[in-house]
Amino acid sequence: MKKSQIGFLFILPWVIGFIIFTVFPIIAALYIAMTDWSIIGQASFIGFQNFRAIFADPTFYKALLVTGRYAILAIPLTIITALLVALGVNNDYKGIGIFRTIFYMPSIVSGVAVAIVFKWILDPTYGVLNSLLRLFGLTGPDWLYDPAWVLPSYLIMAIWGASGGLYIYLAALRDIPRELYEGATIDGAGWLQKIRYITLPMLTPILFYNLVMGIISAFRKFTDAYILGGAGEEGVFYMVYLYQQAFSFYKMGYATALAWILFVIILGLTLVVNYTKKYWVYAERK
Amino acid sequence: MRLRGKKDDTVRKVLLYLFYLLGSCLMLLPFFWMISTAFKPDAEIFTVPIKWLPSSFHGQNFKKAFQVIPICKYMLNTVYIAVLKIGGEVFVSALVAYGFARFDFKGKNLFFLILLATMMLPYEVTMIPTFIMWTYLGLSDSYVPLILPAYFGAASFIFFLRMYFSTLPVEMEESMVMDGASYFQIFYKLILPLTKPALLTIGLWAFLGTWNDLLGQLIYINDPAKYTIQLGLASFSSMTGETLWGPLMAASSVGLLPVVFLLLFAQKYFVEGIKMTGIKG
């Protein structure tokens, strides 16, 4: 057997999996989105009716608003938080390893349990957050029970989890050549100038990566929203809405149409961000 | 000049340590609050102002939590899924990554590009058709849909391992070819043992992914006897009617124990992986 054929054999399992679990479902999804399938019974072809129904459904716009608003605020907040923490722990002070572990924690310790704990923290009467505010003489809001405070509740959780991305930034910081800083010192630059003119530009590739990942994960947010909910449908994120349509009401066709819309949104945003890349992301000239 | 520089350094150090301490308190507050609540009797949970610590450590909530949901069984169910999944996922991902790293064949770059695209894009679109497929095969209320796809490799692991394999020197492989070894033998006897740390890293990622996954498990598993720990915790409040915060915090504490151990003892493997590729799994 030729070496190239053997190489293909090595990747064959993935190719088969790709066909079974990606190509085939995508083709099926094109059809299902045009049916009124509900798992039981027959599916009949209804053309673009699902899409028409979606665009006439106020809940859809609400879910889109909840998710989009969260994305616009949470993505920059988490990127800035993670960056600041990384800049803060990018040294070899005594005990730094312990602090790094603590900041990194949310990327390992997450899931349903953490969401439940946040629900308890945000409890208006007995929660620890409002008690802390009371120490400062403030009366905290009702958080998840007040429609106006649901979004801030989710943002608090997002910021708490932000430093989980710490090591990506630390690795990028470590890769910045020392000579750049040394040269800047000789030229009399202060630390703020060094951050502005060396660190930030050199970090733009990783900021770009985190922006794309942030968009994808914000629009796919599910676990926290499923557990926490929120008053006045303010906690119905897009994926929660999709999940309800598919697995509570068994509207498979409708939910698949929703999935296609989400896909187009994520793809579109990714392409837009990718288009802006050349204006702000540093690329090493070779 | 020099003196001033030194003083600045000290100020900076003090400020940074303050930042570390304050930040750590904020990071740990949820867990402190969870554990503190778990050990309190109801009378101390529902008080204003709050009590930071229980007056005595009280085991009732844990007892109650284990009555509401079989926590140990659910954790074992999760481990069962994870174990069956990880072996296949790691082995097949390594196999495919080796193919991408060491061979040239027609369409390789296109395949790799597709692989990268599947890492980010079509999950929500394939979710429902895949569910329907498993339902028609009669396997929807089982672990099969959660386990079997892993045996075709996972895109992010393949990406990571390909990068890792590309950094290995080829000389040893070439000399094994001279000695008449087949490529599969080289992969099995040389590459796998040589790259144990990287395989361990993705194995841990796979475990974490299974432990923390909610959506996939929620879709496929209906029978409470088959629940995982995530499903058990998510359904806890509906089991008790109202939210019993004490037992719920006790259950959450137990459910988090395995990942806390991972954080404490396996952090270096997670971090190595990130340093290599800049991806977090």
Do residue B30 and residue A160 have CB atoms under 8 angstroms apart?
A: yes
- A37, A112, A264, A274: best to mutate for the B interface, most B CBs within 10 A: A112
A255 touches chain B (CB under 8 A): yes
- Percent of chain A at pLDDT above 70? 99
Q: What is the CATH number of the domain that holds A162?
A: 1.10.3720.10
A249 touches chain B (CB under 8 A): no
A20 touches chain B (CB under 8 A): yes
B37 touches chain A (CB under 8 A): yes
Cα diameter, chain B: 78
The pLDDT score that the predictor gives to residue B49 is 82
Phi and psi dihedrals of B75, rounded to 5?
A: -65, -40
- A4, A12, A14, A251: best to mutate for the B interface, most B CBs within 10 A: A14
A97 touches chain B (CB under 8 A): no
Examine the predicted complex and report whether its ipTM is higher than 0.95: no
Domain presence at residue A285: no
B219 touches chain A (CB under 8 A): yes
CATH class of the region B63-277: mainly alpha
Query: Which of the four pLDDT bands, split at 50, 70 and 90, describes residue B21?
Result: very high
In which residue are the tokens 């603590």 written?
A102
What are the residues facing A35 on neighbouring strands? A45
Q: What does chain B look like in DSSP terms, one character per residue?
A: -HHHHHHHHHHHHHHHHHHHHHHHHHHHHHHHHHHHHHTS-HHHHS-SSPPSS-SS---HHHHHHHHHS-HHHHHHHHHHHHHHHHHHHHHHHHHHHHHHHH---TTHHHHHHHHHHHHHSTHHHHHHHHHHHHHHTT-TTSSHHHHGGGGG--HHHHHHHHHHHHTS-SHHHHHHHHTT--HHHHIIIIIHHHTHHHHHHHHHHHHHHHHH--HHHHHH---GGG--HHHHHHHHHHHHSS--HHHHHHHHHHHHHHHHHHHHHHHHHHHHHHHHHS---
Query: What residues make up the domain containing A276?
Result: 50-280
Mean pLDDT value of segment A168-191: 90
Mean pLDDT value of segment B262-274: 85
- Percent of chain B at pLDDT above 70? 95
Neighbours of B255 (CB within 10 A): 27
> How many domains in chain A?
1
Neighbours of A95 (CB within 10 A): 9
Q: Which residues on chain A are in Cβ contact (under 8 Å) with B128? A: 29, 32, 246, 252, 255-256, 259
Domain presence at residue A79: yes
A225 touches chain B (CB under 8 A): no
Q: Where are the domains of chain B?
A: 2-58, 63-277
Which of A39, A91, A223 is the closest to B214 by Cβ? Answer: A223
pLDDT in tens, B164-214: 898 888 888 999 999 999 999 999 999 999 999 899 999 999 999 999 999
Domain presence at residue A258: yes
Query: Which of the four pLDDT bands, split at 50, 70 and 90, describes residue B278?
Result: low
- B36, B53, B106, B126: best to mutate for the A interface, most A CBs within 10 A: B126
Which of A16, A25, A113 is the closest to B255 by Cβ? Answer: A113
Mean pLDDT value of segment B86-105: 95
Do residue B278 and residue A39 have CB atoms under 8 angstroms apart?
A: no
By CA distance, what is A224's nearest residue in B?
B214
pLDDT in tens, A58-113: 999 999 999 999 999 999 999 999 999 999 999 999 999 999 999 999 989 989 99
pLDDT in tens, A227-256: 999 998 999 999 999 999 999 999 999 999
Residue A78 tokens, joined: 């988490």
Do residue A168 and residue B114 have CB atoms under 8 angstroms apart?
A: no
Mean pLDDT value of segment B139-152: 95
Q: Which residues on chain B are in Cβ contact (under 8 Å) with A262? A: 124
- Percent of chain A at pLDDT above 90? 83
Alpha-helical (H) ranges within A110-220 are 112-121, 128-135, 150-162, 166-174, 178-186, 191-194, 200-219
